Amino acid sequence: MADTATAPANGGGPPAGRNPAPVAEATGITKRFGATVALRDARITVAAGESHALVGRNGAGKSTLVSILTGLQHADTGTLRFSGAPAPAVGDIDAWRSRVACVYQKSTIIPDLTVAENLFLNRQSAGPLQPIRWKQLRRRAEELLGEYGVDVDAAARAKDLTVEQRQFVEIARALSFGARFIILDEPTAKLDARGINRLFDKLRDLQRQGVAFLYISHHLQEVYDLCATVTVYRDAAHILTAPVAELGHRALVEAMTGESTTTAAEIVENRGPIASDAAELLSVRGLTLPGACRDLSLTVRAGEVVGLAGATASGNVRVGEAIAGLHPAEEGTVSVGGRGVRTGDVPSALAVGVGLVPEDRHLQGLVNNRSVAENATLTVTDQLGPYGTVLPARTRVFAQRMIRALDIKTPGAATPVSALSGGNQQKVVVARALATDPRVLVAIRPTNGVDVKSKEFLLRRIREVADGGKAALIVSDELDDLRVCDRVVVMFHGRAVAEFDRGWTDEQVVAAMEGVAGRTATSDENVAGRTGTSDGSAGDRTEAPGGGTDRTAASDTTEEHGR
Ligand SMILES: Nc1ncnc2c1ncn2[C@@H]1O[C@H](COP(=O)(O)OP(=O)(O)OP(=O)(O)O)[C@@H](O)[C@H]1O
């Protein structure tokens, strides 16, 4: 793919006449955490005004580098310079802020404060004993937001903003400290396609104003869309830095993994259709969830992986969560192998064999200060000792099996899960869902934050669940996640609007997620075909926008679209 990739129109180089010193230059950086070497003699140079990507597998050392570049951690060895000058002293927060800022996947703004208060936190007044002039504060905030073209009400509570608006506020705050170098650590993880486009427009805009970016993402297509230069880390070390336009997709993946990899589409290549007499394992009939979906029906057969696709407001995530007992239904039923699930009742879903990989591993997935072993076995404590006891030795053995099965990179089973890299934490969440050997696995964005190789690995594991005679539902808007499915049902604004067998093209599924298929094909009815109507009868299958399916086109585009 990168053979055809082009550099962004703005080029990414430093604007003429500006200080030629790099905005950030780190060399010889080594950082250890106990026995773990997180960075070994690593380096990076980001030129003024450059859009620079940093990629690497989970645990490669990217977040550690970010924490060193932003002054949160001190490197054991190495030098760091900003615009030619040595890095500020540790703890001199204002000096660090004027050089670099990071927008994380997890927001750092305070939900109960207004946008204006967040923007000027700890600098609301002119001096320590000066009163805060609220009107002035709001005006300054409005000016600041206006200056960077951020369309957000300065008086709004931060908690009422969308993820995208929060990110824009964080970027504006960073720029207001004078920083012309911004690090974005997986900023698109919680955005849908439109949100990503708007974020990219904003970044390109700021780049034209001379702001440099270090962009971290596991979505390699985003690297091709946005960045001019890419640096690859592998196993704590710098592997290469190259112009994006000169590095093909396969070469980039090989630099990250040290070997060649298969793509998601290759996982299902040469696979036959699901037997028509395969038992219906998951059955959702006429489900209505307030604010999320109306009269939705869906089935998944034994041996089948079904994708439930949709943009943020589609309701697909709530449907997945409801199947796992997290939300009560206003109407409709959920059953597994003929046994009903009491909606809104997690134990009832667990009892019939539903396993869940939740959307947000931080909020719903992990107990941070507990070990990898404890987190991986949370759902199976009844198997870890007699009479309600949990035997540490049995927990350890169980967890070690999981660590091997899912290739979790950790010093050991007793390591606190918070010490793992983001992608490896996600694998612990998947391990926990698989631990119960579920009959129906509901996996919500299961490859969130997972590197290209681990993504392939996790998707293969989900396929194996189905191949073992179980059913899997992948709830996601990631095209790579959907590519391993036998069937993809697309939701738009609470309704299933299209359904595709294998061989769909990216354009077809994206159009359906954007609501185009819903308007042309099934304007106000449930999708028919195998998703069925609310009374369980089969209806007409939705015509794919663009007509039919095209296996060649789907595989050809595999490398072209990260999402
Ligand atoms: N506070 C810590 N204590 C112990 N080990 C740590 C700590 N922080 C990071 N590590 C280890 O350092 C290594 C590098 O982790 P890092 O988070 O930098 O990887 P990453 O490239 O950002 O991965 P991901 O893509 O999964 O976010 C990993 O092996 C991780 O377990």
Last residue of a domain, one of 419, 437, 455: 437
Residues 254, 248: Cα–Cα separation, whole Å: 10
Q: By the 8 A CB rule, do 481 and 446 touch?
A: yes
Query: Nearest residue CA, atom 7 of ligand 1?
Result: 419
Tell me: do 94 and 20 sit in the same domain.
yes
Tell me: do 431 and 442 sit in the same domain.
no
Give the HSE-up count for residue 388: Cα atoms under 13 Å, Cβ half-sphere: 0
Instruction: Please state the φ and ψ torsions of residue 114, each to the nearest 5 degrees.
Output: -75, 170
Q: By the 8 A CB rule, do 511 and 557 touch?
A: no
Question: Is 195 within a domain?
Answer: no
Question: Is 201 within a domain?
Answer: no
Last residue of a domain, one of 395, 422, 437: 437
Distance 63 CA to ligand 1 centre (A): 7
Distance 180 CA to ligand 1 centre (A): 26
Question: Is 365 within a domain?
Answer: no
Instruction: Please state the φ and ψ torsions of residue 25, each to the nearest 5 degrees.
Output: -145, 115
Tell me: do 533 and 482 sit in the same domain.
yes
Residues 518, 504: Cα–Cα separation, whole Å: 16
Which residues, 6 or more positions from 482, have their beta carbon under 8 angstroms from its beta carbon? Answer: 307, 309, 474, 476, 488, 509
Distance 421 CA to ligand 1 centre (A): 4
Residues 444, 537: Cα–Cα separation, whole Å: 28
Q: Which atom in ligand 1 lies closest to the alpha carbon of residue 425?
A: 26
Q: By the 8 A CB rule, do 341 and 400 touch?
A: no
* Domain count across the chain: 4
Query: Nearest residue CA, atom 11 of ligand 1?
Result: 38
DSSP state of 157: B
Tell me: do 452 and 536 sit in the same domain.
yes
Question: Is 344 within a domain?
Answer: yes
The CA-CA-CA angle for residues 21, 25, 26, to 5°, reads: 165
Q: By the 8 A CB rule, do 43 and 26 touch?
A: yes
Q: Is 0.85 exceeded by the ipTM?
A: yes
Residues 86, 199: Cα–Cα separation, whole Å: 31
> Residue-wise over 40-73: b if at least 16 C-beta within 10 A, else e?
bebbbbbbbbbbbbbbbbbbbbbbbbbbbbbbeb
Residues within a 6 A CB radius of ligand 1: 33, 36, 38, 56, 58-64, 409, 419-424, 451
Residues 263, 544: Cα–Cα separation, whole Å: 24
Tell me: do 333 and 449 sit in the same domain.
yes
What is the β-pairing status of strands 212-216 and 101-103? Answer: unpaired
Instruction: Please state the φ and ψ torsions of residue 392, each to the nearest 5 degrees.
Output: -55, -40
Question: Is 120 within a domain?
Answer: yes
pLDDT in tens, the chain (563 residues): 333 333 343 334 444 455 579 999 999 999 999 888 999 999 999 999 999 999 998 889 999 999 999 999 999 999 999 999 999 988 888 899 899 988 876 667 788 888 888 887 766 555 555 555 667 778 888 887 887 777 888 888 888 888 888 888 888 888 888 888 999 998 887 787 778 888 898 889 889 888 999 999 988 889 999 999 999 999 899 999 999 998 988 889 889 888 766 666 677 776 777 877 889 999 999 999 998 999 999 999 999 999 999 988 899 999 999 999 999 999 999 999 999 999 999 999 999 999 999 988 776 667 777 888 888 777 766 666 666 666 777 778 878 888 888 888 888 888 888 888 888 898 888 888 888 889 999 999 999 888 888 888 889 889 999 998 999 999 999 888 999 999 999 999 999 999 999 888 888 898 898 877 543 333 333 333 333 333 333 333 333 333 333 322 333 332 333 33
Which helix (DSSP H) or strand (DSSP E) does residue 31 occupy? strand 24-33
3-state secondary structure of 38: strand
Q: By the 8 A CB rule, do 368 and 417 touch?
A: yes
Query: Nearest residue CA, atom 13 of ligand 1?
Result: 38
> Tokens 């699901």 label which residue?
274
For residue 546, what pLDDT is reported?
36
**Beta-ladder partners of 501:** 487
Query: Nearest residue CA, atom 1 of ligand 1?
Result: 419
Question: Is 359 within a domain?
Answer: no
Q: By the 8 A CB rule, do 79 and 142 touch?
A: no
Q: What CATH number corresponds to the domain at position 324?
A: 3.40.50.300
For residue 7, what pLDDT is reported?
36
Distance 368 CA to ligand 1 centre (A): 14
Tell me: do 386 and 291 sit in the same domain.
no
Distance 59 CA to ligand 1 centre (A): 5
Tell me: do 64 and 162 sit in the same domain.
no
Tell me: do 424 and 447 sit in the same domain.
no
3-state secondary structure of 464: helix
Residues 510, 479: Cα–Cα separation, whole Å: 9
Q: Which atom in ligand 1 lies closest to the alpha carbon of residue 409?
A: 29
Q: By the 8 A CB rule, do 322 and 505 touch?
A: no
Question: Is 168 within a domain?
Answer: yes
Tell me: do 345 and 447 sit in the same domain.
yes
Question: Taking every pair of C-alpha atoms in the chain, what is the biggest distance, in angstroms?
Answer: 77
For residue 395, what pLDDT is reported?
77
Query: Nearest residue CA, atom 3 of ligand 1?
Result: 419
Last residue of a domain, one of 178, 199, 233: 178
Residue-range definition of the domain harbouring residue 470: 265-270+277-353+438-560
For residue 381, what pLDDT is reported?
67
Tell me: do 251 and 304 sit in the same domain.
no
3-state secondary structure of 507: helix
Distance 285 CA to ligand 1 centre (A): 43
Tell me: do 382 and 528 sit in the same domain.
no
Question: Is 360 within a domain?
Answer: no
Tell me: do 253 and 114 sit in the same domain.
no
